[in-house]
Every structure is written in C-alpha cells, then in structure tokens.
Amino acid sequence: MSKHDRWSKLLELLAGEGRIEVDDAAAALDVSPATIRRDLDELAEQQMLVRTRGGAIAHGVSYELPLRYKSSRHAPEKQRIATAVAGMIADGDVVGLNGGTTTTEVARALALRAGGSREGRGRRDPAETSAPAFTVVTNALNIAGELAVRPQVKIVVTGGVARPQTYELVGPLTVGVLNEVVLDVAVLGVDGVDPQLGLMTHQEDEASVSRLFAERARRVIVVTDSSKMGRRAFARICGLDRVDVLVTDSGLPADTAARLTDAGIKVHAV
C-alpha cells in the first residue's frame, strides 16, 4: 500500500471514529505500528490531525477533512440524495451549488440527466439544441472542473480565493459575482442542521457564500445525510425558515422529520 493510500485510509478512519489508535490502524491497514506512527506524525505536521499518546484525534468542532478524503463517507446515501434532487430540477433552471461531497454528487446527477435527455430528443433545430439543459452557478472548483466538459450544461464559476480543503472559492470576488445573478434553485450542502440555529458549516467565509446562494434563489434545497441532523458547527448559514426542501437518507428519525415538516419544510428521505 502506497503512502497516499495509507493516508487516505487513516483519514477516513479518523473521520468516521473521531480518533484512531496506532495498533488498531496497523491491523486495519496490515502494516507495522512504526509505519502508522510515522504517517500520523507527518499528517500532524500538515495539521490534518492531532497526535496523542498511542494514536491521533480530530481537531474538534471545527475540524474538517479535505474533500478528497470525505468522498467515500456515506457514499450510497449521497448518490441516492443526488438522484432525487436531480429529479426536482426543471429543464432550463439556473442552479446554484456550493461545495461539498453531496453537492458534487448532485452535479454529477444533473450532468447525467442532461446528457440522457439530449440523447433521447432525436434531431432538433440547431438553435434549440444549443440551449443548455441547465445553468450551474458554483463556487466549487471541483464541480466546475467536472461540468466544464459537459456541453449540455452551462457552467458559471464565481471568482474568489480557493480553500484547499474544500475546493471552494470565497471572499469579496465570490460575493461580487453572486450579487449579479438570480437563481431558480440553490442546492446547499451543510455540515450541520440544528433545530434552533438552522444550517451550519465549519468555516465562516464559506457560510457567508452559502447564505448568499440562499438569498439569490427562488427555492432552497438542502442536501445532507442524516448523520448531520442535530449537529452544530462553527458558523451559521441561515435559519430553517429559508429552506424549502430537505433531502436526506432514510436514517432520519421520524420525530425530526415531523418537526421539520411542522416548520414548513418538505422532507424527502431516500
């Protein structure tokens, strides 16, 4: 197993458990404890974890893994959520997507839907076929990269300063672009949904951008797996009163779904 593969596996274990022990990690990866200690030391130097006696822990409430290490967590749930959301988008809609693993899956589902709908239309007038199936406005570099090669999707990328952990663009340049557009729907990924505080994320600059996505949209769809329900993070995006639809997985507790419905939110658990 290469160092990159070991690091990816270690960070996935840390994301799932919140802490890892050297001996347990060595057994899981089938390598020596000495190799795991070296890996943890190097990851700690990059501030991706905190070393402890005998292992490592996550950084705490504001801790977040780089996007590439989170992509495999709850992957089937996120793909089902993305498919459901793609079915809620009308042809020709302008869709805002913030960054994250679930919104990335939504972007892929939209691209697949757009490609399939085009293939099924047969011969059309050239002017008609040149119109995009969707327009996607995003501050996520990875989403922009995937959709830029899809001719059936018009992609608009905000400016801004890139955050390496999430590939999101933030700052005044991002805000300037979003202030000039109008969205039919904003699809927001979040790090927590608190009944009192609303939608939350780890970074305050990303929260302000996601808040602006919500403000510029006629309809707001929140996408999150059920593990984030009831969870708080550092920065507040907006209250639940701004949310029209929440799409999550079947692990959502019935009482939580009932409270959200009472608050006027349409809940889809897939």
What is the model's pTM? 0.74
Burial of 156 (0-12, 13-18, 19+ CB in 10 A): middle
Backbone φ/ψ region at 146: left (φ over 0), alpha (ψ -120 to 50), beta: alpha
For residue 70, how many C-alpha atoms fall within 13 Å in the half-sphere facing its CB? 20
Confidence tier at 254 by pLDDT (50, 70, 90): very high
Bridge partners, 163 (sequence order): 168
Backbone φ/ψ region at 47: left (φ over 0), alpha (ψ -120 to 50), beta: left
pLDDT per residue as tens digits for the range 140-188: 999 999 899 888 999 999 999 998 778 899 999 999 999 999 999 999 9
Average pLDDT over residues 121-144: 75
Rg (CA), the chain: 20
Bridge partners, 238 (sequence order): 199
Nearest residue to 220 via CA among 92, 116, 88 = 88
**Has residue 239 got a pLDDT over 70?**
yes
Nearest residue to 92 via CA among 185, 218, 157, 181 = 185
Q: What are phi and psi of 154, to 5 degrees?
A: -85, 125
Question: How far apart, in whole angstroms, are the C-alpha atoms of residue 61 and residue 80?
Answer: 27
**Has residue 129 got a pLDDT over 60?**
no
Question: How far apart, in whole angstroms, are the C-alpha atoms of residue 86 and residue 101?
Answer: 15
Question: How far apart, in whole angstroms, are the C-alpha atoms of residue 237 and residue 95?
Answer: 18
Question: How far apart, in whole angstroms, are the C-alpha atoms of residue 206 and residue 211?
Answer: 9
Question: How far apart, in whole angstroms, are the C-alpha atoms of residue 240 and residue 175?
Answer: 22
Q: What share of the chain is helix, strand, coil (3-state, %, to 5)?
A: 45, 25, 35
